[in-house]
Structure 1
Amino acid sequence: MRITLVQPRDLGQPEVTRWRALQEADAAFDNPFLSPEFTITVGELREQTRVAVVEDGGELVGFFPFERHPLGIGKPVAAGLTDAQGLVHAKDAEIDPQALIRACGLSVFEFDHLVAGQPLLAERHTLYPSPIIDLSDGWAAYTEFLKANSGKTYKSTLAKSRKLQRDVGPLRHDYATTDPEPLRALLGWKTDQYRRTGRTDRFAIRWIVELVERLLATQTESFAGVLDMVHVDGAPVAGHFGLRTRTTLVGWFPAYDTAYAKFSPGLIHHLAMAEAASAAGIQMIDMGRGDKEYKEKLKTGELQVAEGRVARASAGAGVHWMLRVPVRKARGAVMANPLLLKTADRALKTYGRLRTALSA
């Protein structure tokens, strides 16, 4: 088995075509964060991005996108942003994870959204649910599921949509628009949300903004950035930017104008998006790991993603363990305890309100 390291921009068309074929051959890899287009676009903005190309017997059997940081610390491409990570590989390929990270020059590879069926799945890892909306049987079947399992939410959302239109004006839904103007409104709402809830504002980081803009401009049959907006009386009130393969749409950056909060614009938008996505051939919406009330109300099931690391015996791996593993365990304990989670969330929101007031 031969492993070659390249920068994403150095992948030729044969490699990209093979990567895509391996991805489409296994449902576990049907996620745009695992698409070659995503890694190539990130690589244009992040010099530390690499791809390990795995060859066996003259055949390309795997592609491992990653970032290499100091001390040989490996992270997923665009770490902290992606909801699906891992090695895209042939089903019958026998790939030794230790040999792989050694060939990549890594002491350790850490992950928090590793998808199923991975040689990288270590013995010590934690699994988390990633809620999904299954649209494989069509929109009508999904609405029947909602009526049976989240009937109150479904009916109240429709009622609020009608009230919004009576009180404000007609509703217009734009699915998969490539107009950059609504994107600016969406990112502004998301920045406000980050600050309001005490989180780090991702869109204060220039390369992330540029990444989103470049992904919106990427429109192919097998991969695209998807900007989805709901307007009322001509003004944007809620939206979402995500990515898609041919059949899977991933939730990434949803947000809404808080001036319309009483109408539940986020739920109105998600139902409109799911209907339009289904009509466009999307069979699944992956809403991503994380406990959010709207995900519980809309989901039909769950995938599982893993958090953990693969490490070699090295000084870099030891430093990484000291810096990261205790913190991860503490965060996991908080996330698993509803009382601690509620207290932490309240503290972050209080911090967000103070930060907003001081910066006003």
Structure 2
Amino acid sequence: MRTHVVRPGELGEPELRRWRGLQEADPALGNPFLSPEFTLGVARFREDVRVGVVEDSSGIVAFFPHERRPGGVGHPVGFGLTDLQGIVADPGLDLPARELLRACRLGVWDFDHLVAGQRMFAPHHQVVRAEPIIDLGMGFAAWEAEARMLAPKTHKTIRYKERKLGREIGEVSYEFACADSGELTRLMSWKSAQYRRTGRTDRFTRPWIVGLLRHFHETGFGVLGVLRAGDRTVSVHLGLRAGASMAGWFPAYDTDLSRYSPGMVGHLALARGCAENDVTEIWMGRGGKEFKEWLKSREVPIAEGRVARATPGAAWHWLRHVPLNRLRDAALDDPRLYSCADRVLKGYARVRRRAA
């Protein structure tokens, strides 16, 4: 077995077909973040994206997309933007993770949304959580009936607010795949305001991320859903689509209409739109949002951790990241700490806005 490392643009059509074939062979790998389109897209805007191509006597058996930073520090492609990570491989692949890193000339590779079922990385898990999925395989009506049964009061409230939105603002409509770049600009503006309001880092101050979203939208890999009331845009969502799988990515809404719960109305509209356009599952991403408990049909385990070899770069990486990550994990796993941290961030954001 041998591994060679290439830039994504060096992969030819036969290699890309093999990559997609490996995805199709394993339902856990169908997520758009693991598709070649995501890696190729990020590589347009970042010089540090590489792919480890693993071969045996039968041909290519795996693709390992990663970012390579100075000192041999590796990250998943689009680290900080991706909700699923891993190696796209034949299920029978028997390759120790450290051997993979050695072949890719990496001292460490950290992950926070790894497909937990991948055996080669299992010894390196530090935390295992779950990513919720909306299953539309039986159609929208069947999924909605299940969601209504799980939380009848919540469902009734959202549908009431949707009708109220239609009466007071304008007839409610939904466009599943909007080509208007102005709506994408609106989404990023709303999302930037949300980041500032909640004390988070504004991702859209980074030109490469803005360019990436525009690229995915223009190529159709990014699907821009728009909820409107009359002529007024109420909420917008950019998701990534690979075949029958949709990955929820960037949602945003008009906060002036928050009394109508536009985000939740938009999620229901997204589910209906997906079902009507041959999407059978929506990956919602890891997170502590209560609404996901109501919407989800099932979960997939995902892991956080790091693989490291005995190198100076790996040791420096541990000092910089691991203690802080453990504090963050403690907050995520304790609802009281999570709520407290959220309040602190929002308070910090208010102070920063007043001082500006």
Q: TM-score range by the shorter chain?
A: over 0.9
> 1:172: which partner in 2?
173
- SS of 1:153's equivalent in the other structure is helix
Q: CA deviation at 1:123?
A: 3.9
- State the distance in 1 between where 2:269 and 2:148 align: 16
- Is residue 90 of structure 2 the alignment partner of residue 95 of structure 1? no
Kindly report structure 1 stretches of 4+ aligned residues shifted beyond 3 Å: none
Q: Deviations over 1:223-257 (max 9, x none)?
A: x2110010112111101101011111111111101
> 2:126: which partner in 1?
125
> 1:57: which partner in 2?
57
- State the distance in 2 between where 1:172 and 1:67 align: 40
1:147-162 → structure 2 map (5 Å cutoff): 147-162=148-163
Q: CA deviation at 1:58?
A: 4.4
> 1:116: which partner in 2?
116
> 2:232: which partner in 1?
235
- State the distance in 2 between where 1:182 and 1:171 align: 17
Greater alpha carbon shift after TM alignment, 113-122 vs 263-272: 113-122
> 1:332: which partner in 2?
329
> 1:258: which partner in 2?
255
- SS of 1:239's equivalent in the other structure is strand
- State the distance in 1 between where 2:168 and 2:283 align: 33
> 2:83: which partner in 1?
83
> 2:135: which partner in 1?
134
Name the count of aligned residue pairs. Answer: 355
**Contact between 1:3 and 1:103, CA under 8 Å: does it hold in 2?**
yes
1:2-41 → structure 2 map (5 Å cutoff): 2-41=2-41
> 1:181: which partner in 2?
182
- SS of 2:355's equivalent in the other structure is helix
**Contact between 1:172 and 1:234, CA under 8 Å: does it hold in 2?**
no
> 1:225: which partner in 2?
222
Q: Deviations over 1:36-58 (max 9, x none)?
A: 01101111110000000011004
**Contact between 2:235 and 2:252, CA under 8 Å: does it hold in 1?**
yes
Q: 1:303 aligns with which of 300, 303, 308?
A: 300
Q: CA deviation at 1:333?
A: 1.0
Letter in 1 for 2:277: A
- SS of 1:106's equivalent in the other structure is coil
> 1:267: which partner in 2?
264
- State the distance in 1 between where 2:99 and 2:337 align: 40
- SS of 1:238's equivalent in the other structure is strand
- Is residue 288 of structure 2 the alignment partner of residue 287 of structure 1? no
- State the distance in 1 between where 2:286 and 2:183 align: 26
Q: 2:343 aligns with which of 331, 338, 346?
A: 346
**Contact between 2:83 and 2:113, CA under 8 Å: does it hold in 1?**
yes
- State the distance in 1 between where 2:147 and 2:36 align: 34
- SS of 2:138's equivalent in the other structure is coil
- SS of 1:262's equivalent in the other structure is helix
Letter in 1 for 2:182: E
**Contact between 1:49 and 1:67, CA under 8 Å: does it hold in 2?**
yes
TM-score (norm 1): 0.96
Q: CA deviation at 1:330?
A: 0.9
- State the distance in 2 between where 1:215 and 1:315 align: 37
**Contact between 2:124 and 2:307, CA under 8 Å: does it hold in 1?**
no
Letter in 2 for 1:136: G
- State the distance in 2 between where 1:185 and 1:255 align: 9
Letter in 2 for 1:65: P
Q: CA deviation at 1:121?
A: 2.9
> 1:213: which partner in 2?
214
Identity of aligned residues (%): 47
- State the distance in 2 between where 1:311 and 1:254 align: 35
**Contact between 1:237 and 1:265, CA under 8 Å: does it hold in 2?**
yes
- SS of 2:46's equivalent in the other structure is coil
Q: What's the Cα RMSD here? A: 1.1
* Structure 1 alignment gaps of length 5 or more: none
- State the distance in 2 between where 1:338 and 1:306 align: 19
Q: CA deviation at 1:8?
A: 0.6
**Contact between 1:150 and 1:298, CA under 8 Å: does it hold in 2?**
no
Q: CA deviation at 1:170?
A: 1.2
Q: CA deviation at 1:304?
A: 1.3
